């Protein structure tokens, strides 16, 4: 990628042909609503009309610890992060059940977990950048070199998944405290104060929410002018796992592979990817609307309407996986519904 580059969009000719096919289906005009729009988008991303069924769908969960989690911003202790990585490996997490139900392949990556994670398969740690990331209200999350390393790690993961045959990539997160840096990333991109982007994450009470808000604002104030640059923003106020997620999304968009986003962390990283590579977001759809205010603000800025609105606030990629059947349905209608012209041949 070169400075000033713009991402190549999904195929406009395929989009036009898919829209024409949609309009010709044996359904009333517009009756398929957003299912029709999703089908057209998927056809454009595949440059195929009708689009191919989505058989190979892959979720990457980027895991890491956040120094800020030791400063009272979450309802849960940091030790949960490592425990959940082991739970993904065991296939027993919330997203594991959803993925099994929907035929989605899951991979977890320790990009910045504080624990050594002894006994966890080596491939989980193949792209580890560091143990924990800086407490962003007091210090930078990463060094500039670590930011570059994390972006490259995420890109490498996307290349591996695409090489293995992924037709659709999903992005997920695990890291206690990560709604704090994700809110800061959205504030940086949109020029908003902490008060507008800070949410309750795992469910903090009013007192903790007020403290979390001041931590986010401290991080923004500390980073200052560097927030004008998306890569400097990653160094100052994100984390190794979030920077890796940005790299994963950039690589997918540049490779022409569509991505289904999840909640706040996934969408904050998508917004940052769009800042780095304008046009990247044309390759992204959003599985759901999370309860976090910053996720909705970021989706609005990206012009993406989420597929589901179930009040989910789990993360892990769960809201993306839950939306997979809707995307598969969008493809099925474009593939399998008769054309009105077949039923009613012109006399």
Ligand X SMILES: Cc1cc2ncn([C@H]3O[C@H](COP(=O)(O)O)[C@@H](O)[C@H]3O)c2cc1C
Catalytic site residues?
316
How many residues make contact with ligand X (CB under 6 A)?
Answer: 18
Cα distance between the two ends of the chain: 55
- When binding is defined by CB under 6 A, the residue of 179, 180, 233, 235 that contacts ligand NIO is 179
CB 178 within 8 A of CB 294: no
If the CB atoms of residues 59 and 257 are measured against ligand X, the closer one turns out to be: 59
Cβ nearer to ligand X, comparing 51 with 263 = 263
Regarding 178 and contact with ligand X (CB under 6 A), the answer is yes
Binding partner of 114, given ligand X, ligand NIO, none, CB within 5-8 angstroms per partner class? none
| Contact set for ligand NIO, span 291-330 (CB under 6 A) | 292, 295, 313-315
How many other C-beta atoms are found inside a 10 Å radius of the C-beta of residue 223? 22
- The residue number with the shortest CB distance to ligand NIO is 263
Closest contact distance (angstroms) between CB of 178 and ligand X is 5
Closest CA to 332 of 36, 83, 30: 36
Closest CA to 244 of 112, 339, 334: 112
- CA–CA dist 266, 299 (Å, integer): 11
Q: What are the Cα distances from residue 242, in Å, to 86, 113, 174, 246?
A: 19, 12, 10, 6
Residue 263 C-beta: closest distance to ligand NIO, Å:
2
Region 254-293 residues binding ligand NIO, contact defined as CB under 6 A: 262-265, 290, 292
**CA separation, residue 53 to residues 66, 144, 328, 333 (Å):** 38, 41, 7, 11
Report the partner that residue 177 touches, choosing among ligand NIO, ligand X, none (CB closer than 5 to 8 A by kind). ligand X
- Measured torsion, CA atoms of residues 307, 34, 285, 277, in degrees rounded to the nearest 10: -140
Residue 201: CB minimum distance to ligand NIO, A: 5
- Closest Cα partner for 236 from 141, 314, 108, 103? 141
Q: Is 251 in the site for ligand NIO (CB under 6 A)?
A: no
Which partner in ligand X, ligand NIO, none is near 251 (CB below 5 to 8 A by kind)? none
Is 315 near ligand X (CB under 6 A)?
A: yes
Return the structure tokens found at 282: 């044309």
Binding site for ligand X (CB under 6 A): 74-76, 80, 84, 173-180, 201-202, 314-316
Binding site for ligand NIO (CB under 6 A): 179, 201-202, 262-265, 290, 292, 295, 313-315
């Amino acid at each position: 990628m070169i400075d000033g580059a713009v991402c190549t969009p999904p195929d406009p000719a395929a989009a036009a042909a898919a829209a024409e096919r949609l309009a010709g289906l044996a359904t009333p005009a517009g009756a398929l609503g957003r299912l029709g729009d999703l089908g057209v988008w998927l056809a454009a991303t595949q440059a195929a009309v009708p689009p191919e069924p989505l058989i190979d769908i892959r979720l990457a969960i980027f895991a890491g610890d956040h120094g800020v989690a030791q400063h009272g911003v979450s309802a849960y202790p940091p030790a949960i992060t490592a425990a959940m990585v082991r739970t993904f490996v065991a296939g027993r997490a919330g997203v594991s059940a959803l993925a099994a139900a929907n035929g989605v392949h899951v991979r977890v990556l320790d990009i910045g977990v504080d624990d050594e994670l002894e006994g966890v398969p080596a491939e989980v740690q193949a792209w580890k950048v560091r143990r924990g990331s800086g407490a962003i209200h007091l210090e930078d999350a990463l060094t500039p070199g670590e930011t570059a390393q994390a972006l490259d790690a995420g890109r490498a993961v996307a290349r591996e998944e695409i090489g293995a045959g992924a037709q659709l990539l999903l992005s997920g997160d695990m890291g206690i405290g990560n709604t704090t840096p994700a809110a800061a990333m959205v504030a940086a991109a949109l020029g908003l104060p902490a008060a507008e982007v800070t949410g309750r994450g795992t469910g903090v009470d009013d007192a903790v929410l007020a403290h979390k808000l001041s931590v986010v604002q401290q991080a923004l104030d500390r980073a200052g002018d560097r927030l004008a640059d998306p890569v400097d923003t990653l160094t100052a106020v994100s984390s190794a796992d979030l920077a890796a997620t940005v790299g994963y999304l950039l690589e997918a968009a540049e490779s022409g592979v569509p991505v289904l986003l999840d909640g706040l962390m996934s969408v904050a990283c998508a917004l940052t990817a769009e800042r780095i590579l304008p046009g990247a977001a044309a390759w992204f759809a959003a599985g759901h609307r999370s309860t976090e205010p910053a996720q909705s603000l970021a989706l609005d800025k990206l012009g993406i309407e989420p597929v589901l609105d179930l009040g989910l606030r789990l993360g892990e990629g769960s809201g993306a996986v839950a939306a997979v059947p809707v995307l598969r349905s969008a493809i099925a209608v474009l593939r399998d519904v008769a054309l009105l012209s077949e039923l009613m041949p012109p006399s």
